[in-house]
Amino acid sequence: GNSVTQMEGPVTLSEEAFLTINCTYTATGYPSLFWYVQYPGEGLQLLLKATKADDKGSNKGFEATYRKETTSFHLEKGSVQVSDSAVYFCALRGDYKLSFGAGTTVTVRA
């Protein structure tokens, strides 16, 4: 079956630091890949997505590239802000269903 593994947190960073959250997946076929973000007290919001190999999704300074050869979709941001503190979920959609990773809690300190 489909599954997603993402790096465990929590992750604590200082403002302007570089952020990477690793995500790897197992899937049959050609899944679409997503990063969702959950800010404190809110539901999940789509951050970015990629639908085929070598696609790069980007939004709000975050980027992730769909790497089929390494089955990865790592999330990166070059300079984080306090407002980026949130829980980040990697997900894939194989057929109709989203499969989520466990989530990574990121805290950015001023």
Partner 1 sequence: DVKVTQSSRYLVKRTGEKVFLECVQDMDHENMFWYRQDPGLGLRLIYFSYDVKMKEKGDIPEGYSVSREKKERFSLILESASTNQTSMYLCASSFSLDTDTQYFGPGTRLTVL
* Residue number, 69 or 95, with CB nearest to partner 1: 95
Q: Residues interacting with partner 1, by CB under 8 A?
A: 4, 34, 36, 41-46, 49, 89, 91, 93, 95-98, 100-103
What minimum distance in Å lies between the beta carbon of 79 and partner 1? 27
Alpha-carbon dihedral of residues 97, 76, 70, 46, nearest 10 degrees? 10
What minimum distance in Å lies between the beta carbon of 4 and partner 1? 8
Listed in sequence order, the residues at least 6 apart from 110 whose beta carbon sits closer than 8 Å to its beta carbon are: 14, 15, 82
* Residue number, 19 or 36, with CB nearest to partner 1: 36
* Residue number, 17 or 94, with CB nearest to partner 1: 94
CA distances from 9 to 20, 37, 44, 97 (A): 11, 14, 18, 25
